[in-house]
Structure 1
């Protein structure tokens, strides 16, 4: 039943319910009709709700009766305090169901922080996470039925038609109760003005049936084909599901991480703060123009990244082999591969990849996403994962020791750094702050048999993004995966890896 219809029936005063149901609802009301406002206040109070004459930070919502007055002092205060402002239909629906309902479906305007930053706050319960736009992330969880997790994010990128869309589909079950909701959110990637969302309450059986119907409608495949990874085929003009791994191992909730005591050396502690700063990873994702409302930080699986590499390799082969196909055929294949890449890796600005330079930019982006995925698996970026920096350091399995500034090794690195600074780079200078020695778990034993036999030892330099170093420290320098495009950059990494 739509909120408009159910609300209009309930607000006619057909029935008033016992005061037990709405005792947790705290509200204020604004409106142009004093009689209508007073009547609504009495109905809600009779149903057990708590009325506040003035907007305060501890109320659940401000109910707007009639047209919203943007200059009203209570409205301005609600916006300042980020309190949801809801339509009058919310009153009728709460009274009809005799309980406090999620406010998002009835909002006059979207006050969610996610619309500002383009990111999603992930709160994992069980094996998945309720989307914050549903308003249920604190009181409900994604429905799980055996191996089935009823949560999917769909993406569709069709560059020829200018389509770059997402579709989020979830079955949400209340933590304390059996009520289920089918939540849908859809729109254009990177454009918050286009799109909508819907939250419908239904029985568990009906919710599963509706979820599967919508999945088939949007993808052209039955839900079971995707769930079991069998016989799922990407259909033209249809959405494709993203593999998003929310993780299931959650660290215990702790207090502010900055207040935790650390046994690490001060220099090492500062390094760990740099390496595990979530904002650094978020900034990298934004620089790559990744759509973070679809793909929360660090949640894209390595399978999707691998398929992204495969799409880039296909484009590279098409760009090189110009004589193999007619121009029109080759162009259509490049467009198809670009569509596949941006469907797998949601981007704010998808485009046809037509040259080698753009190809290399996307390849390096995927390499960085690999390291972000590794960092996410290793230490987690979720709000509930508040391990100490000492805990995160131990997970690197790498002994990192700051060198004394008067040591020979420190002076050697400093001398190399300053003496090899190119004279053409006059606009900036370098200053060495700290040098660390590394001993990765197990590497000394691997190297010991070559130590006395190899004489061409060299001091090699490797520069990389800060977001890549958790992956490098925990797993070492790695050669590119076989599905990645071939570049001179990859060969350089291979050379450095074996010379190290």
Structure 2
């Protein structure tokens, strides 16, 4: 069960402080007196450093002149971190303690004047986005809290949804906070220290910059290894006896130089990995945080940042005004900015998609089967166009070469895709890790796209997006069809 997180204003009172019902996080102008610090060093000792330090000023709701400073610290992912509540103080005394602790831990001044300057061997500030949200909006954290604590909403009467059951099921699936949290947790993200949807865009951009450096370093290592292998092959060719000794000396010198360069690159990988985990807190328990030293690991971290960007968009969509007269599912549906209708299971379009699923399931993807649960037609609402002008059946029938391409994605990305569309990786993201460089990817093999849905024995629901393509030219129509299905894992 998720701990209760009570938010008044922009800050969240730490539930372990014991003041969640009695206090409010101090906020003056745009400064929220609550920080989350992190420090990771994969080279330190046997298990490495992977620790956090958070603290906040809490003002007593009954006496606005009485203030407390609550500290919590420990290894990332610790079930029982150390904590201490200081006070009561005057507000000025609490601020003095806060500032002195922040300076000691980061060697930066408070309040922070952007950009925050990380110092090696010190903690780094996790930059949270407080620009969105007010006392009347619901955050993803609060939605999760209400879901896990039904007694909190027992007094509220939720009006029935006006949507068809199939549409309700679809919207609930893509807006399920528990599923989103589960997917992100599987990527080792520390959700306890980093609330979903609250990382700033600037903070995520720094993550891309670090991964870009790691990408360049991996390329350098690959080039050095390739050059070394070439020299070894050349060294085995026939050489006159009188030149063999000098060749051995040159080869030895070249080999030692290459080893030194490789050692330097590997040290850089450790440093940059530490920076990335410091910036984006990961929960590895008591294990040594793994070095990002392969293209496959790099791709996973790129996927993580993409998920965090999409979750941020979903968070803002779910951050709707509380309205007791509107069902929450209906409110989320309205925020998507589209119409969604279920395709009749007896229709030609449904049958066509079923056939494509069956005929384009690659023989190498034999560890699972795909089952079509429902097909929905999505009509994106735009002010300059009417729905009739974008009738999907008319567009599809007008094509003389019917070809479906598929796009698969994690459930946590779907709401973002529906509201903002498929997006190309930002300029600061490395090109390494993408098979054909940065772009929007589709495949004509349904099971290939399904692999990118990351289904598992714990989560078998997947969403695939079929696109109709005229004359094999990769230009997608604006009206989409969403396939809701399940995976039968063998």
Q: How much does 1:217 deviate?
A: 0.5
State the alpha-carbon separation in 1 of the partners of residues 178 and 321 from structure 2.
12
Given the alignment of the two structures, is residue 361 of structure 1 paired with residue 246 of structure 2, yes or no?
no
Note the alpha carbon deviations across 1:4-56, whole angstroms, 9 max, x for none. Answer: xxxxxxxxxxxxxxxxxxxxxxxxxxxxxxxxxxxxxxxxxxxxxxxxxxxxx
Kept in 2, the 8 Å contact 1:190–1:348? The answer is yes
Structure 2 partner of 1:222: 109
**Does the CA-based 8 Å contact 2:158-2:327 persist in structure 1?**
no
| CA shift in 2, pair 1:444/1:464, >3 Å | farther
Structure 1 residues 492 and 336 mapped into 2: Cα distance closer, same or farther (>3 Å)? closer
Matched, 1:480 2:446: no
Aligned to 1:461: 406
Query: Which structure 2 residues correspond to residues 16-415 of structure 1 after superposition, within 5 A?
Result: 121-161=4-44, 162-178=48-64, 179-193=66-80, 195-224=82-111, 226=112, 228-230=113-115, 232-246=116-130, 247-249=132-134, 250-251=136-137, 255=153, 259-322=158-221, 323=224, 326-349=261-284, 350-380=289-319, 388-415=328-355
Number of residue pairs aligned between Structure 1 and Structure 2: 378
Does the aligned pair in 1 maintain the 2:210–2:276 contact within 8 Å?
yes
Match of 1:468, SS?
helix
The 1:382–1:244 alpha-carbon spacing in structure 2 relative to 1, beyond 3 Å, is farther
Q: Is the 8 Å Cα contact of residues 4 and 15 (structure 2) preserved in structure 1?
A: yes
CA 427–286 in structure 1, closer or farther in 2 if over 3 Å, else same: closer
Give the drift of 1:147: 2.4
- Output the TM-score relative to the length of structure 1: 0.69
What is the alpha-carbon distance in structure 1 between the residues aligned to residue 107 and residue 163 of structure 2?
54
Structure 1 residues 424 and 332: CA distance shift in structure 2, 3 A = closer
- Give me the whole-angstrom Cα distance separating, in 1, the residues matched to 2:322 and 2:301: 29
Residues of 1 paired with 2:84 and 2:75: CA distance? 12
After superposition, the C-alpha distances for 1:449-480 in whole angstroms (9 at most, x for unaligned) are xx799877642111111111011111111111
CA contact 1:139–1:174 (8 Å) conserved in 2:
yes
Structure 1's 152 and 384: CA in aligned 2 closer, same or farther, altered over 3 A? farther
Preserved CA contact (<8 Å) 1:143 1:149:
yes
* In 1: Cα distance, 2:354 partner to 2:310 partner: 28
Could you tell me how far 1:197 is from its partner in structure 2? 2.8
Residues 322-356 of structure 1: CA deviation (Å, up to 9, x unaligned): 34982332223212211110011100123221111
> Which structure 2 residue ranges, 5 or more long, are not aligned?
139-145, 147-151, 225-257, 443-466, 468-473, 477-490
SS in 2 for 1:461: strand
User: What CA deviation, in whole Å up to 9, does each residue of 1:253-279 have, x standing for no partner?
Assistant: 994699431111110011111112111
- Ranked by relative contact order (alpha carbons within 8 Å, sequence separation 6 or more), the top structure is 2
Contact 2:425 2:438 in 1 (8 A): no
What RMSD, in angstroms, separates the aligned Cα atoms of the two structures? 3.2
Q: Any idea what SS the aligned residue of 1:192 has?
A: coil
Please list every run of 5 or more consecutive structure 1 residues that lacks an aligned counterpart in the other structure: 1-112, 114-118
